[in-house]
Amino acid sequence: MKDIATETSKIEHAEVYLPVDDLKTEMPFFLKQLGFRLEEIFPADDPAVALVSGHGMRIRLDRDADMPPGRLRLRCLEPDSFAGGADTLTSPSGNVIEIVDAKPPLDMPETQHSFMVRHLRDSDAWVIGRAGMRYRDLIPDRLGGSIIASHIRIPDGGPVPDMVHYHTVGFQLIFCYRGWVRLVYEDQGAPFVLEEGCCVIQPPQIRHRVLEASANVEVLEIGVPAEHITTIDHEMELPNGTVNPDRDWQGTKFVHHKVSEATWGPWRIPGWESRDTGIGEATQNVAGVHVARPDGTDTVWTSHDTDILFTFVKEGTMTLEVTGEDPYQLVAGDAFVLPPFLKSRYTNPSADCEVIEVSLRADFVTETT
């Protein structure tokens, strides 16, 4: 088999074909209006082909091309100030140029609240996603697009075929559920191992990379909103030689919560105690993450007023009771969402029961009855 790198090194450039009716009318559109520059044109006596370049691409304008008009997209930093603020332009030959924002604002959909229980035993087949990872969807309806929660598994231990990348998100949590994973983050120093029971938050647009994982490692990944863009950074190498743990990323600081350093204290629900991951403080209360376990005393009915409250059963078993529903028997790997003001109660927890609770926001009120 030929070496792909050797073969591709022989490629000088790539071209996109676009048909034209007449270069005399098409070229001014691309050169003067869109800012491309002329590279080649032939034949001299009656030009039929012109090669233009610009904005990271090369286009072949061909009078003899047997194809319908094409479509290009220009990603502009200030789209309102380009081409009079037009969304689209059409060349004299009918080629359509879309003009879009190169850095669109993050779309945060309004939460569509619903009560949901997701059992591990009822899960569909795991879906193969980015870098060969297996994904299991924990909130199928995404609450109207406001959140995505994934149970991710990497079946084979060893190096992970990941690249330096970042996510355009409002909030993102990685919780190591089983095994371990080795990660590296921008401005956070040398690679480190995220151990079982530990978690990190990935602030908006922090560059990072998954380097290595134990066999059958499992992590939980929570992202807000559900649909967000992952961008590969081909220029940055990690570690990047800078250590700045207090760097602010759009109002969020990086957090690496270690279970070995955690302390347990009273939780918002009587009858349970929790370890606070510090994520509420790091995100200015945009989100909170707690790991909770029963303390041996009686629990009570509660309700909350936060926008999103997602819970994953980390260990053991418990019963979830909600008003108007039959009790749900839950085991490790099950998950549920409690909408605001719905009354619920956690009962019959096993001695080893632990739950992971993610809230958006962190500064909310719990009422007990």
Q: Give the model's pLDDT for residue 368.
A: 95
- CATH fold group of domain 4-101: 2,3-Dihydroxybiphenyl 1,2-Dioxygenase; domain 1 (3.10.180)
Give yes or no for residue 153 having a pLDDT over 70: yes
pLDDT band with cut points at 50, 70 and 90 for residue 242: very high
Q: Give the model's pLDDT for residue 224.
A: 97
> Considering the chain, what percentage of its residues have pLDDT values greater than 90?
88
Give yes or no for residue 1 having a pLDDT over 60: no
- CATH fold group of domain 261-368: Jelly Rolls (2.60.120)
Higher pLDDT, 122 or 169: 169
Which helix H or strand E contains 279, and what residues bound it?
A: helix 279-282
Give yes or no for residue 199 having a pLDDT over 90: yes
Distance, in Å, from the CA atom of 355 to the CA atom of 279, rounded to the nearest integer, reads 16
pLDDT band with cut points at 50, 70 and 90 for residue 155: confident
Look up tokens 């691309």; give the residue.
Answer: 30
- Residue 237 burial (CB < 10 Å; 0-12/13-18/19+)? exposed
Q: Calculate the CA 123 to chain-centre distance.
A: 21
Q: What is the pLDDT of residues 269-305, one digit of tens each?
A: 999 999 999 999 999 999 999 999 999 999 999 999 9
Distance (Å) of CA 186 to CA 16, 37, 174, 189, 332: 35, 37, 16, 7, 33
**Domain spans, the chain:** 4-101, 116-256, 261-368
Q: Give the model's pLDDT for residue 209.
A: 96
pLDDT band with cut points at 50, 70 and 90 for residue 4: low
Give yes or no for residue 131 having a pLDDT over 90: no
Give yes or no for residue 3 having a pLDDT over 70: no
How large is the average pLDDT for residues 45-68?
95
Beta carbons within 10 angstroms of residue 183's beta carbon: 24
pLDDT band with cut points at 50, 70 and 90 for residue 357: very high
- What's the DSSP call for residue 8? H
- Tokens encoding 230: 């992952």
Q: Give the model's pLDDT for residue 340.
A: 98
Give yes or no for residue 336 having a pLDDT over 90: yes
Closest CA to 82 of 64, 102, 62, 96: 102
Q: Calculate the CA 317 to chain-centre distance.
A: 30
365 Cβ contact list (under 8 Å, min separation 6)? 304, 305
Distance, in Å, from the CA atom of 242 to the CA atom of 236, rounded to the nearest integer, reads 12
Give yes or no for residue 137 having a pLDDT over 90: yes
Higher pLDDT, 8 or 239: 239
Q: Give the model's pLDDT for residue 337.
A: 98
Closest CA to 151 of 166, 170, 133, 132: 133
pLDDT band with cut points at 50, 70 and 90 for residue 9: confident
Give yes or no for residue 156 having a pLDDT over 90: no
Give yes or no for residue 2 having a pLDDT over 80: no
Q: Give the model's pLDDT for residue 88.
A: 96
How large is the average pLDDT for residues 112-134?
81
Q: Give the model's pLDDT for residue 128.
A: 73
Distance (Å) of CA 87 to CA 278, 287, 316, 353: 44, 36, 55, 55
- Residue 167 burial (CB < 10 Å; 0-12/13-18/19+)? middle
pLDDT band with cut points at 50, 70 and 90 for residue 121: confident
Tell me which CATH code domain 116-256 carries: 2.60.120.10
Terminal C-alpha separation, the chain: 70
How large is the average pLDDT for residues 112-118?
97
pLDDT band with cut points at 50, 70 and 90 for residue 307: very high
Q: Give the model's pLDDT for residue 51.
A: 97
Q: Do domains 4-101 and 116-256 have the same CATH topology?
A: no
What angle is formed at CA 104 by the lines to CA 202 and CA 79, rounded to 5 degrees?
150
Across the chain, mean pLDDT equals: 94
How large is the average pLDDT for residues 171-191?
97
